[in-house]
A and B are shown apart, each in its own frame.
Chain A
């Protein structure tokens, strides 16, 4: 059973602090990794994709990938109340060209 696991939260972070979201996956051959943000009642929207080991930065967001340890994380610097949402981790299976395996999501709450 291919799995992607996330802590469901809620994760509460003070405004201005760094929010750290983590995701582990079971398929060692996975090559593509995505972080999506989903506001309540809305559809998921892509935050970042990452394909290589290491860090990838985009504004206040940094994705970190460690294939040896099979985890991917998302850091949000200078957290804002508007960052309050559920963050979904998704991984492409190595043996499928089409399917993303989704984590259940971590609910993030930024407290003013």
Chain B
């Protein structure tokens, strides 16, 4: 079974803090993704990566950066957290671009 894990289930941070969300997959998948999900807005892609050290912007990259130094690990960084970044953050991985995406359990981030 594919397993995608995320570093925290719940996180509370203050405005202006730097926030790191980490995602690890154990199936040697090439592609990894970061989404945020908000009520009524569905899943929105922040960044994705198709290889180590490679990254592509998604639909809403502003205020975020990512890092993929190892194939199994994809980190999302909020350089200076703001209240409008309060959301559910979901990491996913897939074998290739047309394949099923498998999701981690999600991190519910609250920025105060």
Contacts and interface: CB of A to CB of B under 8 A. Distances in A.
B42 A99 contact: no
Most interface-central of B58, B90, B98, B105 (chain A CB within 10 A): B98
A98 B43 contact: no
B50 interface: yes
Interface residues of A, number: 21
A12 interface: no
Contacts of B40: 104
Given A43-B103, A45-B103, A97 B58 contact: no
Contact of A98 (B41, B48, B102): B48
Contacts of A88: 42-43
Contacts of B105: 42-43
Contacts of A97: 50, 96-98
B97 A43 contact: no
Contacts of A102: 42-43
A30 B59 CA distance: 19
Interface of B: 31, 40-43, 45, 48, 50, 56, 58, 90, 96-106
